[in-house]
Structure 1
Amino acid sequence: MILSDRDIKQSLESGRIKVVPSPELDKQLGACTLDMRLGNVFSVFEHSRYPILDLRSGIKIDDIMTSITIPDCDRFILQPGEFALAMTIERLELPDDLVGRIDGRSSLGRLGLIIHGTASTFEPGWKGNPTLELSNIGRMPIALYPGMRICSFTFEMLSSPAEVPYDKKMSAKYMNQDGPLPSKIIDDDTV
């Protein structure tokens, strides 16, 4: 069951769902969604220095990415066909019996902005600033501004609390992230 606006409000008030800083509900709360805002740190691939992503090369992904911090009053231009990692201003903490799902805002999707490739699920027990996987699939560059509402979260109840929530997993690679963390797939034993 997806939480309604009234259930999201109640979960925020009781601390069941934690969002810091507290959202402006009159602007960020929808009928069953909670919008989050774009932070000012972006990570981009240094594709002119590293022509290929080879997961077996031994090069760590964060070594081939550059972090860019944009002043709050400035903009980040996402070129057509480009990809960048970003994060939300808000930190999110989920209880052991709720799943969070992130989606892009329709108004931005209609410009060609995709905010996640495949990672839309935030497991029960997840804590941190959500990382956004930004792609511009349109033909024109898109100006992105820190503080703009960029994504929406929905929250869904599990049938019972998770036995091993994300914050209890030994393999929780992205726990408590506070910046747009690059892929840690080379830490997997399947590469």
Structure 2
Amino acid sequence: MYLSDRDLKFAVETGQLIVDPKPEEYDTTSIDLHLDDVSEAKVWNVDAFKQKQEESGSDAWLRVGKYKYRAFSRLFYKSVPTHPNDNDLVYRNGDRVILKPKGFLLWQTRESVGTPETDPRLICFINGKSSSARSGLLVHTTAPTIHARWWGQITLEIANLGPFDLCLGAGDAISQIVVATISSPPTKRKKEGIAIGQREVGGNAGSRD
């Protein structure tokens, strides 16, 4: 069963649903999520990856079914360039990020979202917003589930499939969550994955300092 606006507000107020900072308003069946500070937007350093592969004598492709994301991200993501060259599909323009067609970046939400580790009763799903999607903006479509017992700032995978150069900034609401009840609290925890309390697009918990 999916939660309506009154149930979402009750869940947040009683701690059954973590949304921090708390929402200023609730839609009928969803809560908007907003982009964090522009300094948290990251792109992949493809050239550094290719160089490392070449130095190690490995193939120049990424084995997505084999790699460990947190370790990989520490090596190969970088801040969005502020002095772009002609090949950059993502770059900063002051406090904004410009996303050209076929561009891709990672950017986390301002809010920490999820459920408590003790006796969780809810599960969350991240969706894009239709108004943004119609411009060609693709947001977080491959892994929409926030599993029970996990919480943290959500890393959004953002791509431009449309014909326009898109402009994004901190505070933009380009995604939302819908929340459903689960039949009972799970007995197991996920064995491996993104750290609970994640505060970085690399999946790490703790302080940014």
Q: Secondary structure at the match of 2:131?
A: helix
Tell me how large the CA RMSD over aligned residues is.
2.5
Q: Please, which of 130, 133, 144 is the counterpart of residue 120 of structure 1?
A: 144
- Report the CA distance shift for 1:15/1:111 in structure 2 as closer, same or farther (over 3 A): same
Q: Does 1:108 align with 2:116?
A: no
Contact 1:174 1:181 (C-alpha < 8 Å) held by counterparts: no
Q: Please, which of 62, 66, 74 is the counterpart of residue 54 of structure 1?
A: 62
Taking structure 2 as the reference length, the TM-score comes to 0.76
- Percent identical: 31
Give 5+ residue unaligned stretches, structure 1: 183-191
Taking structure 1 as the reference length, the TM-score comes to 0.82
Q: Secondary structure at the match of 1:102?
A: strand
Distance 1:53 1:154 in 2: 36
Contact 1:91 1:129 (C-alpha < 8 Å) held by counterparts: yes
Q: Please, which of 21, 35, 38 is the counterpart of residue 38 of structure 1?
A: 35
Contact 2:127 2:141 (C-alpha < 8 Å) held by counterparts: no
Cα displacement (A) at 1:169: 3.4
**What is the number of equivalent residue pairs in this alignment?**
176
Match of 1:149 in 2: 173
Q: Secondary structure at the match of 2:162?
A: coil
Give 5+ residue unaligned stretches, structure 2: 51-59, 83-91, 204-209
- Report the CA distance shift for 1:68/1:10 in structure 2 as closer, same or farther (over 3 A): same
Contact 2:35 2:109 (C-alpha < 8 Å) held by counterparts: yes
Match of 1:189 in 2: none
Q: Does 1:92 align with 2:100?
A: no
Cα displacement (A) at 1:69: 9.4
Distance 1:57 1:31 in 2: 39
1:41-69 per-position Cα deviation (integer Å, ceiling 9, x unaligned): 11101224434442369982431211349
1:143-170 per-position Cα deviation (integer Å, ceiling 9, x unaligned): 0010111111000111111112xxx434
